[in-house]
Amino acid sequence: MISNIISSSSFVSDIELNTRINMIMISCNIIAILVGRYTIKLRGLTPFNNIATLKEFGMPELLATMSLGHIIGVASILGLTSIKII
């Protein structure tokens, strides 16, 4: 278990942040927000439902979609890095 963590941490440290990686992460988050906006059925049930321009799309929905976007973004970046596209 520890050897897996050590080997994965050495792989991640080889990736440098640049504009390509930032744009991949931003686009994955935007896609996740758009997908969540149209697929989440129960919206606006909490007191945090007043985000400026997103009607009935509250803080819990935003946090959930951003979390999904980060998971998709990290998987995309690691996958593209492992096949040497980035």
DSSP string, 15-80: PPP-HHHHHHHHHHHHHHHHHHHHH--S-S-STT-B-SS-BT--HHHHHHHHHHHHHHHHHHHHHH
pLDDT tens for 5-46 read 555 555 555 667 889 999 999 999 999 999 998 888 776 666
Largest CA distance in the chain: 47
What pLDDT shows up at residue 79? Answer: 94
What pLDDT shows up at residue 23? Answer: 96
**Residue 75 pLDDT level (bands cut at 50, 70, 90):** very high
What pLDDT shows up at residue 7? Answer: 56
What pLDDT shows up at residue 71? Answer: 97
